Amino acid sequence: MTPVGILFPGFETEFVVSGNNLAPPPVDGALYLKVASACVGGDESDVAGGSARAATCDSASQARANFTLGPVEDGVHVVAVEAGGGGYLTGALNASGGGGSGFQGVAVAGAWGGEISQAYVTVRGTYSSAPTVRAA
């Protein structure tokens, strides 16, 4: 089984905020936006490229800001079944290598022959490269 999507390159995205009483154009800089994994104070972010920046106010009810986020080092997002084998029971997946730890997953085996047909990630873990994932 092969983990897919361990490292995502940086990507540019635009966030649009709608509300009331935003600073109307041409007064920019009255509103700052940041991208973070949790609502915390301050300008810094735990998301690469997500630190606070001034938003452009398009109107009194809409503002926008562009961010280039990443690269995002992360855990295992998807496990693709390359060869389902046989004789397995539905159960845990194990990961080794990849410069990290914490992965948990489930392999689903067919009732007849025990071939693994699907694999699900339940906990991504944290890895710097693709680990080897195997049925337990």
Say yes or no: 94 and 64 in one domain: no
Predicted confidence band at 73 (pLDDT cuts at 50, 70, 90)? low
Task: Give per-residue pLDDT as tens, 20-69.
Answer: 776 665 555 567 888 877 777 788 887 778 888 888 888 778 888 888 87
Give how many domains the chain has, as a whole number: 2
CA–CA distance, 76 with 86 (Å, rounded to integer): 24
Q: Domain boundary residue among 44, 72, 100?
A: 72
pTM: 0.48
Q: Are 53 and 83 found together in one domain?
A: no
**Of 50, 72, 94, the domain-final residue:** 72
The residue segments making up the domain with residue 79 are 74-135
Q: How far is CA 58 from CA 26, 64, 70, 91, 136, in A?
A: 8, 7, 26, 52, 55
Q: What does each C-alpha distance from 24 to 13, 32, 51, 78 come to in angstroms? A: 23, 14, 23, 44
Q: Which of 23, 47, 72 is the last residue of a domain?
A: 72
Same-domain status, 19 and 61: yes
Same domain, 61 and 113: no
